Structure 1
């Protein structure tokens, strides 16, 4: 019995940037949050460039094959990212190119050259290739799974990477050595001061709009950053959520907040 080919979609508003050459991985390894040296063909890994203050400048998905690393980046910051990487390049043997002939692809099923997006627990597959037949936003699936996105839930230098769970998705290589902003985010983890997380909210009615405060009694515990249908994502203060016995609500609607075990606060650690 023949099986139908997977429906492959082009993700809109995404740019493919490549860093290639014998020193491409070494360049990225010392600059971005993700461990690029261990990235294998057939893998997808989130990553980000931070500001020196540890805030997220831009994030992306990474794919690699040999001496080439592809970055699946939101359109708006793509050109600025290419320029920043070129500044950090110095004499490194690496070429940084915006690939206008390639597209960011996704599907709910594996396809040739694809890799599991680790943020979705195996239900979404990503890749880089020629533009697919249809252009479909992945926003609805991201909101359903509680996955925040640059440009929709946050902007440049607004949040720390841990606020949007980049570390939980495997996007911070804690043991790979230094990267821009590393001292700040490592100190937050080491001291157990990661208090904010992006979490899924579920409502019985339509979820309130971005910017709506999330309350527990009279205390503000967070703010909705995006919503669709009955689902929303909110940046929540975990300490305030755990300290209250009141049911959370937003815009007069009670909601359920899911706090996965891997997003609960860490105890202070000796070293990272």
Structure 2
């Protein structure tokens, strides 16, 4: 099995968008450029509200004249309804795709069983592949060492890659705060999409004060949702946790002010340090040397 690891992502679901207007339909709605897709490749994208906040995050995969959407299971029905609302008279069919389930594989390349397809995670190469497995297939058929779903999330947390619903609240978070601008989740050159004016303004003015960043505790971190404080003042919220590592949505300006005056940052009484992800092009404050 070498160095290949694979985990079934039981909290994911697949929708299919097909029809002669499918490409144009999605292109006018979502944050990434559908026209950049080739068959068996994917984009990371979101669907925003008119105020520019994320309602859904997902992957879109091009397959045989249609598009498959890899989305959190708990958001799939809502996205299907939302897309139906925008469809109007477009020649588009939106349906559940029960023929597939989603797995993640990283390390050496997996062996794909019949009917399966894989695409590179478009956010970050280190995340490996996402695999669309036939619903009757087993993750062990990938020829990798099967590992718990938590191992995938531990990898994601280590790399500093957030996930909607775990690290930020839908309907209350801008793409820049969720690192869409850092992880290929928004295309600023593609033209119009819902919420585009707000997102473009944040990009050009550099006004994102909150960001999701990795945090490291001096002992195991508390539960997701715990407030992160500096001198008793809330500056952020803890998201995904794996032992002493986690992700948190932080007001970086307030964190910087606190650290500059020697204040400690803490989550539920656990002292934490902030860390800048290797892919990030923004500064993350740290204690003065």
Q: Shorter-chain-normalised TM-score: which range? A: 0.7 to 0.9
Distance of 1:25 and 1:31 partners within structure 2? 10
Q: CA deviation at 1:28?
A: 0.4
Q: CA deviation at 1:66?
A: 4.9
Which residue in the other structure is 2:126 paired with? 122
2:255 pairs with one of 216, 234, 241? 241
| TM-score, L = length of structure 2 | 0.82
Aligned length: 263
Moved more, 100-109 or 142-151: 142-151
Q: CA offsets, 1:198-239, max 9 Å, x none?
A: 000112310122232323445533221221201111101122
Which residue in the other structure is 1:229 paired with? 243
Distance of 1:79 and 1:211 partners within structure 2? 25
Cα RMSD of the aligned pairs, angstroms, is 2.3
Which residue in the other structure is 2:280 paired with? 262
Q: SS at 1:264's partner residue?
A: coil
1:133 equivalent in alignment to 2:150 = no
Contiguous gaps of at least 5 residues in structure 1: 266-272
Distance of 2:275 and 2:90 partners within structure 1? 44
Check conservation: 1:43, 1:116, Cα contact below 8 A: yes
Distance of 2:48 and 2:273 partners within structure 1? 32
1:220 equivalent in alignment to 2:234 = yes
Which residue in the other structure is 1:107 paired with? 105
Q: CA deviation at 1:30?
A: 0.2
Contiguous gaps of at least 5 residues in structure 2: 140-146, 284-289
Which residue in the other structure is 2:203 paired with? 189
2:58 pairs with one of 60, 67, 72? 60
| TM-score, L = length of structure 1 | 0.87
Q: CA deviation at 1:82?
A: 1.0
